[in-house]
């Protein structure tokens, strides 16, 4: 533990001209007294750490010292490619590996490029979850992530409807979609998708499996996501929408289904409205989605849903009269 901290301290000082004791203490999450002891230990080991005394003092490396300890380990290299996803790294337990990798890259850069990482971080940030969501990190995510990185089989207990089932899985990849973590895994011979927040237990049996080199995680996820959307759009409604309603329709219903329906519809009628057939999850879901468009949508079919729209509209009109 201390050896790793000493290496990290050298890399930090190599990447920056000088740092105060409090700054190093915050960076390494230790006390200032520990920083003093670590600096002394490095000096005794031959690393030229110099301490400037006084209010403007700090720690620095003397004479352009460059450590050779900048080679990336495998876990650090893999984490570096995910460094634009700080929340995801933290949830998978890879934050320390990514931090070490960034330090090693910074230490290897030319002095004129030392601020590159800070410059990028101040100009780009990815916030994956949607608005108005309070998401909880799945407790078993780090264990699943470890199995994914190491290509190790797992035995997982999984909530499925009202029961729990046990599956032996070969975990191929993780996907973070709208703040929800999914595992893409092979069960026997078929690839399937599992929500990690439904796992109740995960045990690694220690056996390494041979990955199918033809497996393409992005392509697999795109295909399954499309299948999922098509599988839940089991009903249809016929609507007339204004130009503004057509523009807003993809934002209140399934985006792909709305755009396909709009593309297949004929041009506006004499009142400037387009008639289209829209796939929906159910008539109940369609009611909640389409009612948000107000007078920019007219529900034509099915008749029972049109009657519900008419009744709700009349009650709303009486309320605001």
Is 90 exceeded by the pLDDT of residue 302? yes
What percent of the chain clears pLDDT 70, i.e. is strictly above it? 75
In terms of pLDDT, which residue wins out, 77 or 200? 200
* Angle (nearest 5°) at CA 108 between 104 and 113: 110
Tell me the pTM: 0.54
Helix (H) or strand (E) holding 107: helix 95-108
Strand partners, 190: 187
Interatomic CA distance for residues 143 and 150, integer angstroms: 11
Is 70 exceeded by the pLDDT of residue 127? no
Strand partners, 279: 236
Is 60 exceeded by the pLDDT of residue 247? yes
Q: What is the dihedral of CA 300, 281, 137, 146, to 10 degrees?
A: -140
Give the model's pLDDT for residue 94: 61
Is 60 exceeded by the pLDDT of residue 122? no
Interatomic CA distance for residues 313 and 299, integer angstroms: 12
Is 80 exceeded by the pLDDT of residue 131? no
Interatomic CA distance for residues 278 and 286, integer angstroms: 9
Q: What are phi and psi of 122, to 5 degrees?
A: -85, -5
pLDDT in tens, 11-55: 888 777 788 888 888 888 888 888 888 888 888 777 888 888 766
CA 168 to chain centre: 25
Question: What mean pLDDT is reported for the chain?
Answer: 80
User: How many Cα atoms within 13 Å fall on the side-chain side of residue 48?
Assistant: 7
């Amino acid at each position: 533990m201390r050896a790793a901290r000493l290496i990290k301290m050298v890399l930090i000082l190599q990447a920056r001209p000088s740092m105060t004791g409090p700054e190093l203490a915050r960076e390494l999450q230790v006390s200032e007294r520990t920083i003093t002891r670590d600096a002394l230990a490095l000096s005794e080991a031959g690393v030229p750490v110099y301490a400037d005394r006084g209010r403007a003092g700090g720690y620095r490396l003397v004479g352009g010292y460059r450590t050779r300890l900048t080679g990336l380990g495998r876990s650090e290299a893999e984490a570096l490619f995910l460094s634009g996803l700080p929340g995801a790294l933290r949830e998978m337990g890879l934050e320390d590996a990514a931090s070490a990798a960034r330090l090693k890259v910074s230490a290897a850069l030319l002095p004129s490029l030392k601020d590159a990482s800070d410059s990028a971080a101040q100009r780009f940030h990815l916030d994956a979850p949607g608005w108005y969501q309070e998401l909880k990190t799945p407790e078993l995510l780090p264990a699943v992530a470890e199995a994914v990185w190491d290509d190790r089989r797992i035995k997982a207990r999984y909530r499925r409807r009202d029961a729990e089932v046990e599956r032996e899985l070969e975990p191929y990849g993780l996907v973070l979609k709208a703040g929800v973590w999914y595992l893409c895994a092979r069960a026997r011979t078929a690839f399937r998708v599992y929500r990690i927040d439904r796992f109740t237990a995960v045990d690694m049996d220690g056996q390494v499996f041979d990955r199918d080199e033809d497996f393409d995680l992005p392509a697999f996820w795109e295909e399954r996501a499309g299948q999922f959307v098509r599988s839940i759009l089991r009903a249809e409604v016929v609507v007339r929408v204004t130009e503004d309603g057509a523009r807003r329709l993809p934002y209140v219903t399934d985006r792909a289904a709305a755009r396909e329906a709009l593309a297949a519809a004929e041009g506006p009628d004499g009142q400037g409205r387009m008639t289209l057939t829209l796939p929906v999850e159910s008539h109940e879901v369609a009611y909640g989605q389409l009612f948000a468009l107000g007078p920019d949508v007219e529900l034509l079919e099915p008749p029972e849903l049109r009657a519900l729209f008419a009744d709700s509209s009349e009650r709303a009109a009486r309320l605001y009269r």
